[in-house]
Every structure is written in C-alpha cells, then in structure tokens.
Structure 1
C-alpha cells in the first residue's frame, strides 16, 4: 500500500491544472490567505480541492500516481 502525501506543492498544481509552476505558487498563497494559514504552513489536498472546485478524488488519484 502506498502512502499518499497530505500536502500539495506548486509542481502538483502545475500538473493537475496545466498551468505554470509560478501560478501554482501564487495559488497556494491565495489558498493560505483564504484559510487563514501562516506562510510556513502547508496546504492539504482537501483544502486545495475545496478551494479549486476540483473533486478530491481527482486530486487523490493524481497524488497516488505520483507518490
């Protein structure tokens, strides 16, 4: 059984959305502001799915393939 990562990185956002890695960094910062997180805290796959509107199953499936 593979362990699925709990956090999302800019490269993941790039692969999921097809946008640039810079867009991924910007989006992560927007999500942190939205959820009231501090700059050093991570974004979970659940938070990314909720904010982006992408189904959690799609994000989880991607993380399983990559991990």
Structure 2
C-alpha cells in the first residue's frame, strides 16, 4: 500500500494545534501571513510559508500534521 503523501497546505485547526491558541487567533495569524506574502484572501498558506513566517522548523510542524 503506498504511503499517504504529506500535505503542503496548513489550516487554522493545524495552527491552533501547533500554537495552542484558539482557532480565531490561528485564522488571524494565517491572514497576517497571507497579507505579508501578498496572497489573496482565499489563497492557501503552505507549510513552508507558515514556517518562514513563524520561524518554526518544518520538521516540528510536520509532526503535528502527521498525527
């Protein structure tokens, strides 16, 4: 059976789990990241974008996405 590919997008629930903050705070953080990167309102934020903005290591973030 093939391995399930990792996600490249990060959602507010993921950010909430990673940071321990509320989903409302997580949505606001994702919105600030989009604004900083010049993305439109509905554009997806990648794990790479999130790590760059928060200075977290991708390996640490991916642990939350796998589990």
TM-score above 0.5, yes or no: yes
Structure 2 unaligned spans of 5+: none
User: Which has a greater percent of strand?
Assistant: 2
1:28-43 alignment to 2 at 5 Å? 28-43=30-45
Q: Highest Rg: 1 or 2?
A: 2
Contact 1:2/1:64 (8 A) holds in 2: no
* TM superposition score normalised by structure 2: 0.91
Segment of structure 1 superposing worse, 56-65 or 34-43: 56-65
Distance 2:50 2:24 in 1: 16
Query: What does residue range 40-59 of structure 1 map to in structure 2 within 5 Å?
Result: 40-59=42-61
Q: Unaligned stretches of 5+ in structure 1?
A: none
Cα RMSD of the aligned pairs, angstroms, is: 0.8
Superposition deviation, residue 2 in structure 1: 1.9
